[in-house]
Amino acid sequence: MDTSKGWIEKGARFGHLTKGLLYGLMGALALQVALGTGGQIAGGREAAHVVERQPFGQVLLVLLAVGLAGYAVWRIISGIKDAEHDGRDGKGLAKRVGAVAGGLANGALAVAVLQMALGQPQSGDGARSWIGKILEQPFGAALIGAVGSAIICAGLAQFHQAYSKKFLEKFDWQGMSPRQQRLVTRMGQVGYSARGVVFPIIGISLVRAALAHDPGQTRGVREALLDIAHSGAGQVLLGVVALGFLAFGAFLVASARHRQIAC
Q: How far apart are the first and last CA of the chain?
A: 10
Residue 102: predicted pLDDT: 86
Q: Whole-angstrom Cα distance, residue 250 to residue 89?
A: 33
Q: What is the pLDDT of residues 76-132, one digit of tens each?
A: 999 899 888 888 887 788 788 888 888 888 998 999 999 999 988 765 566 777 788
Q: Whole-angstrom Cα distance, residue 252 to residue 234?
A: 27
In this model, does residue 212 exceed pLDDT 70?
yes
The number of beta carbons lying within 10 Å of the beta carbon of residue 13 is: 20
Which has more confidence, 162 or 129?
A: 162
Residues 28 and 93 sit within 8 Å (Cβ to Cβ): no
- What backbone phi and psi angles, to 5 degrees, belong to 28? -65, -40
Q: What is the pLDDT of residues 170-204, one digit of tens each?
A: 898 888 899 999 999 999 999 999 999 999 999 99
In this model, does residue 72 exceed pLDDT 60?
yes
Mean pLDDT of 141-160: 89
User: If you average pLDDT over every residue of the chain, what do you get?
Assistant: 90
Angle formed at CA 45 by CA 40 and CA 49, multiple of 5 degrees:
65
Coil, helix or strand at residue 259: strand
Q: Whole-angstrom Cα distance, residue 95 to residue 62?
A: 30
Coil, helix or strand at residue 171: strand
Rounded to an integer, what is the distance from CA 208 to the centroid of its chain? 21
Q: Whole-angstrom Cα distance, residue 239 to residue 244?
A: 9
Which has more confidence, 220 or 30?
A: 30
Q: Residue 74: CA atoms inside 13 Å, Cβ hemisphere, count?
A: 24
The number of beta carbons lying within 10 Å of the beta carbon of residue 183 is: 16
Rounded to an integer, what is the distance from CA 239 to the centroid of its chain? 19
